[in-house]
Amino acid sequence: MREHVGFATIVGGVLALLSPAAATARTAPAPAPLPLVPMPQTVTRGSGSFTVADGARLAVPAGDAGAEAAARLLAAHVRVERGLTLAPIAGNAPIRFVRDATIAGDEAYRLDVDGRGIRIAASGDRGLVHGAMTLAQLLSPDRAYGRSVAVPALAITDAPRFAWRGLMIDPARHFQPIGFLRGIVDQMASVKLNTLHLHLTDDQGWRFEVKRYPRLTEIGAWRTPPSAGGAPGPRVGGFYTQDELRGLVAYAAERGIVIVPEIDLPGHAQALVAAYPEHGVLGDRPAVGHDWGVNPYLLNPRPETVRFVEDILDELLAVFPGPYIHLGGDEAVKDQWERSPQVQAQMASLGLKTEMQMQSWLIDQLGAYLARHDRRLIGWDEILEGELSPSASVMSWRGDKGAVEAASRGHDVVLSPGPTLYLDNSQSRRDDEPPGRLAVQTLADLYRYDPMPAGIAPDKAGHVLGAQGNAFSEYLITASQVQHAIFPRAAALAEITWSAKAARDFPGFVSRVQPQLARWRRSGLEVADSAFAVGYTIQGRRGDALRAGRVTVALATQAPLGTIRYTLDGKDPTPRSRAYAAPLTLAPGATIRAAAFDASGTVLATPRAFATGRAALLARGNSDLPACPTGSLALRVPLTADATADAPAYDIDLFDTCSVYPAAPLDVASGITLDIARLPRPFGLAHDFTQLRAHYNVTPHGELVVTAGCPVKDGPRPPVVATFPLPDPATAPNRFRVTAPVARRSGDPDLCLQFTSPLSDPLYAVERVQLTEPNS
């Protein structure tokens, strides 16, 4: 990630303001929709415009700290995003921030532009910030940089649909520095997201400094990464000091954003128990975890541990002044409690019959403690499984069901359902996607989601606070990978939580979001172009194309925007290249390079290439190899678990490392070459461990067995095409190549690529399969 610049301070200096442009009297066609995201509540267009040039002044009421902060924020964004320097002053200027008590709601604002100037009015500080961010977008309506801007005359009246418009960042799994979080806050503000949920603790790391219990960060903030064979790498981790987090809280508040800290309990507690094993259940001291998923370590619910957590909360409350404290409550498998005589005795003394009731009792104790300190508990939807304090709020992640149930019981709810609002899901099946979950969630998928579930009764709708996107980081390792997962989906999240449902229009949105993508990139962010990049699909079987000497390729993008243009000479396409209108039928050998261009001729994504030569048609990359039918947990995982730089990523099925080369033309091929990657196996599966599919290995470390067809229960054994014994993980490199001849076979069978390595060994993935022809 490039260092985030331009938003912490304002470039000083006051230059002369250029004169406003005169309004035009001529009749003009209906103007195009303004490139604003999220779409405001109402926009009334006027005639004429007001020109803002370098050095323009921003007037704020004397002594109004909130207005001064909004003006500084506007100037900072416009300096980076447009290259113009704006000068906040106390006094008179054509661009004014004003207080207006008649504008109801802390986040509501009004923005007026005419030939004489610009006026941003609000009653609350956050309204002024939101008005400033709308103006920042109007001052950078295109990809031009450093030029004066003629802002069209208009009147905007705006307020949000939902009060909670959130984003969750997970530095517990992979730590990111405080500067990274500040950059996220800046860009949340740019699209009016207002809640940053920080997942500060988990099995793999404790990130909040607790001065009374220093071992939480001395021990709990660091872990040894898992190995894919050989010695593990050096310890990784980090934590935030209380002073750093206080600074972040203040930084966010100036941008209209509240921070909700999460201390996850009673499950996801392995880092805590590693630091203070006396607050675990069975008295052992585990290492800080490096396995993703569900691990067995729980907090002990005894009174001494409750007081221990209350001590932690005292320090947490002193740092985070917002109304909500998130206490997790998710994925707490109860096996340790079930096996503890002490916990069972405590349940009996409290008259509790189930471990879920024990969790509810613990959550209730801590919720009451928060209530005595004028704070509200919020937790994941598992907290609904027992009794729940009326003041507690629920974050519904397992679909919408938890939200419907919680609202019907009178609890406030935040919608955060997986997979749609889980931003660690991949955005396409292209092989250039970073690690994540493989349930592809496109920009369009997120935009279609409505945060008001249909099952909530109208009289309970007021309990829906809003929605939140979650960027869990088991697989998102680097800053750029986290940013790629968030942007531009944050813009879609902003629009579905701010704008009226009736105003939603995906084709219009993808057009309006283009300038925002440029703003984010100028701010140093990694922004995914998955929705706008060209994807390629071969029509029919590749073997048929090889035999016929003709291949037909369809081109498409996810987003309905622009014209796809392509070349066949190896050069990148331009706005003057041939426009794609129908699938291309070609003789094998050409390389198609394609990209979509908007009406102005601006390319919408990095051009992608597709080779149609015979060798390319006989090859399959990792993302072209679907999982075998036997598996059921698809992930895209990195080559190394704790890399400091982006590493190659591979699609796997965790429950059975088996994949399929579809319709292999073995009548054409005479050999097979496979590139193989060996990966760490850092997964906590809890009760799902029974779904792992073991295979009998006939050599010490297992084999890769290639068969013509996948085995079917009680069916005939498929013919073996090739077998490759796997090397010792302790000494072999974790990327290697194997080659073998193959017998000719008709019928284009699927090739089943099955690893039989022991479940105690690392995982394997096929990086690439290349069938070879005679004399190739």
Active site residues: 331
Say if residue 737 is exposed, middle or buried (CB neighbours under 10 Å; 0-12, 13-18, 19+).
Answer: exposed
Chain-centroid distance, C-alpha 753 = 31
Q: Is beta strand 464-471 parallel, antiparallel or unpaired with respect to 436-437? A: unpaired
Rg of the chain in Å (alpha carbons): 29
Q: Yes or no: say if 641 and 633 are a contact pair by the CB < 8 Å rule.
A: no
Token couple for 636: 């895209």
One-character DSSP codes across 395-417: EE-SSSHHHHHHHHTT--EEE--
Q: Yes or no: say if 562 and 597 are a contact pair by the CB < 8 Å rule.
A: yes
How far, in Å, are 254, 313, 370, 576 from residue 373 at the CA level?
A: 24, 10, 5, 65
Token couple for 174: 């992979």
DSSP bridge partners of 471: 169
Say if residue 286 is exposed, middle or buried (CB neighbours under 10 Å; 0-12, 13-18, 19+).
Answer: middle
H or E element at residue 617: helix 614-617
- CA geometry: angle 523, 88, 52, nearest 5 deg: 70
How far, in Å, are 73, 320, 331 from residue 315 at the CA level?
A: 30, 9, 25
One-character DSSP codes across 257-288: -EEEEEEEESSS-HHHHHH-GGGSSSS--PPP
Neighbours of 630 (CB within 10 A): 16
C-alpha 64/C-alpha 66 separation (Å) is 6
Taken as a whole, the chain contains a residue count of 776
Q: Which of 133, 156, 12, 160 is nearest to 78 (CA)?
A: 133
Chain-centroid distance, C-alpha 123 = 33
- CA geometry: angle 366, 372, 375, nearest 5 deg: 75
| Half-sphere CA count of 10, side-chain side, radius 13 A | 20
Neighbours of 98 (CB within 10 A): 16
DSSP-derived letter for residue 725 is E
Q: Yes or no: say if 618 and 669 are a contact pair by the CB < 8 Å rule.
A: yes
